[in-house]
Amino acid sequence: VPLGEFDLIAKYFTRRSARTDVLLGVGDDAALLAVPPGRVLVAATDTLVEGRHFLAGTPPGSIGHNALAVNLSDLAAMGAEPAWALLSLSLPSPDESWLEQFAGGLLALADSFGVALVGGDTVRGPLVVTVEVLGFVEPTRALRRSGARPGDLLYVSGWPGESAAGLEILRRTGRFDETADPLVRRHLFAEPRVALGRELGGLASAAMDVSDGLLGDLRKLCAASGAGATLELESLPVSAALRARCTPAECEHWVLAGGDDYELLFTAPASAQAAIESLDRDAAAGGRPRLTRIGRIEAGQAVRCTRAGRAVDVAEAGFDHFV
């Protein structure tokens, strides 16, 4: 007997949440949610399509994980605390084993961030996964893309480029089970920088998550802020895992143009430099992603790359899922 759409949601995605701010979750026409007084609501949505955002053959647990992770990353980039998620799942057939693994990946990540799945919709159709995440932030601590000012320092978290290099390895090998490989694991299980986003509230002047390549996303941040930037290529962080597998030129390519890393790209006034260096020392001591200064915001509109102080022409298009 095929499972009806209502049964699917009930069977795989309904769980009792520990959150007392979920007044009504999965199972009614809509969810009822209590936003804490004094906070503003933060809402983001992202869609994953097979063959475009993940390879055919990707384990369902990874798809479920990443469908939520990309949205958590959007909230991290706002300095927000994620609270609730809704899932819209279009899939060709109600395959129970697929659903169990997909739900397992999504709900494990939700649990690790204390996020409750409060609603959704499951329909038969091509494999398309849309997740919406809701959360909240103190109004004065919200991180916009538009706040960068000339003179601000430019930072990136962690190790951009690893995920794209992992995707390239998967394209070559098709070995989705090689999760001992840190690059492959990074691609299959993105790590949203939620805790870092919370710490940057009140410190950073602008922030966004790196989903379409560092250089292209920097251009977007600068356009939103009405400013330019200098990006120091020799300062870009290159992880040991990436360096072990790629030539220096390949490393730079992945770091500048690789998508789906979900690191935070952010700016801060010089007055915040000491506080950010302190965050970085804490991160290093705790094994969390380091914060690397990679340039500065400039007057004007140009985003220039330099190497050892000399201008370099870099033509990295960045990811655009529509081109």
Residues 85-124 close enough to bind its own copies by CB under 8 A: 86-90, 94, 118-124
User: What is the closest distance, in whole angstroms, from the C-beta atom of residue 121 to its own copies in the complex?
Assistant: 5
Region of 73-81, 99-107, 275-283, 289-297 interacting with its own copies (CB under 8 A): 73-81
Out of 15, 220, 290, 307, the residue judged to bind its own copies by CB under 8 A = 220
226 binds its own copies (CB under 8 A): no
The one-letter amino acid at 187: H
Nearest to 209 by CA among 197, 200, 195: 197
17 binds its own copies (CB under 8 A): no
Q: Which residues, listed in sequence order, are joined to residue 292 by a DSSP beta bridge?
A: 156
- Is residue 39 within 8 A of residue 138, CB to CB? The reply is yes
The one-letter amino acid at 284: A
265 binds its own copies (CB under 8 A): no
Select 87 or 184, whichever has its Cβ closest to its own copies.
87
Select 29 or 274, whichever has its Cβ closest to its own copies.
29
315 binds its own copies (CB under 8 A): no
- Is residue 103 within 8 A of residue 109, CB to CB? The reply is no
SS3 annotation, 274-299: HHHHHHHHHHHHHCCCCEEEEEEEEC
The one-letter amino acid at 20: T
> Is residue 76 helix, strand or coil?
helix
Taking residues 199 to 218 in sequence order and writing x for each that binds its own copies by CB under 8 A, - otherwise, the string is: --------xxx---------
Region of 11-19, 135-143, 239-247, 299-307 interacting with its own copies (CB under 8 A): 135-143
Select 47 or 235, whichever has its Cβ closest to its own copies.
47
146 binds its own copies (CB under 8 A): yes
> Is residue 258 helix, strand or coil?
coil
- Is residue 177 within 8 A of residue 101, CB to CB? The reply is no
Residues 274-293 that bind its own copies (CB under 8 A): none
Region of 26-34, 155-163, 173-181, 306-314 interacting with its own copies (CB under 8 A): 26-34
Out of 12, 17, 26, 31, the residue judged to bind its own copies by CB under 8 A = 31
Tokens of 198: 């919370």
Select 182 or 258, whichever has its Cβ closest to its own copies.
258
Widest pairwise Cα distance in the chain: 67
Out of 112, 114, 125, 284, the residue judged to bind its own copies by CB under 8 A = 125
26/35 Cα distance (integer angstroms): 18
- Is residue 90 within 8 A of residue 127, CB to CB? The reply is yes
Residues 172-191 that bind its own copies (CB under 8 A): none
